[in-house]
């Protein structure tokens, strides 16, 4: 089996549920706290491609940072959104689970079933 990687914020409830589910299934995985080890632009682009998503689809629209930056009222390109997500990790939906050439946004956590 390919290496399983969970990109998470440890204090996030959904991230903890994802980790619990993987542990219950006996699946070995690596956890990466992307607040400690931030995404590079290239890595986030790669994950988006594996999830078949655009930056706007991975954006945390209920987050304080989204509101403070008034992103709802700005007409930003996908590239500009990606750059903002690299600068401000709170704008990235989580957790992201990556296995080989596939990845999913584990919201809800059961979406990880698609990878196995």
**Confidence tier at 1 by pLDDT (50, 70, 90):** low
What do you get for the CA distance between the two ends of the chain, in Å?
9
Q: CA-to-CA distance for 8 and 31, rounded, in angstroms? A: 7
Using the Cα atoms of residue 45, residue 47, residue 51 and residue 53 in order, give the sign of their dihedral.
negative
Q: Indicate the pTM of the whole model.
A: 0.93
Alpha helices by DSSP H, listed for 37-109, are 41-51, 55-58, 64-68, 78-87
Selected residue with higher pLDDT from 72 and 19: 19
For the chain, give the percent of residues with pLDDT over 70. Answer: 99
Mean pLDDT value across residues 74-95:
95
pLDDT in tens, 43-75: 999 999 999 999 999 999 998 989 998 888 899
Backbone angles phi, psi at 4, to 5 degrees: -105, 130
With tokens 């629209």, the residue in question is: 61
Structure tokens at 107: 């919201």
Task: Choose the catalytic residue: 3, 12, 61, 113.
Answer: 12
Beta strand ranges found along the chain (DSSP E): 4-8, 30-33, 96-99, 102-105
Is position 12 annotated as part of the catalytic site?
yes
- Domains, the chain, in order of start with CATH, read 4-115 (3.40.30.10)
């Amino acid at each position: 089996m390919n290496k399983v990687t969970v990109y998470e914020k440890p204090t996030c409830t959904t991230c903890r549920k994802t980790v619990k589910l993987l542990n219950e299934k006996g699946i070995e995985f690596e956890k990466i706290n992307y607040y400690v080890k931030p995404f590079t632009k290239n890595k986030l682009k790669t994950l988006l491609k594996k999830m078949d998503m655009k930056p706007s689809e991975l954006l945390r629209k209920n987050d304080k940072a989204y509101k403070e930056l008034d992103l709802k009222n700005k007409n930003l390109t996908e590239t500009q959104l990606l750059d903002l997500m690299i600068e401000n990790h709170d704008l990235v939906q989580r957790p992201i689970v990556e296995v080989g050439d596939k990845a999913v946004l584990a919201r809800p956590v059961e979406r990880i079933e698609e990878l196995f």
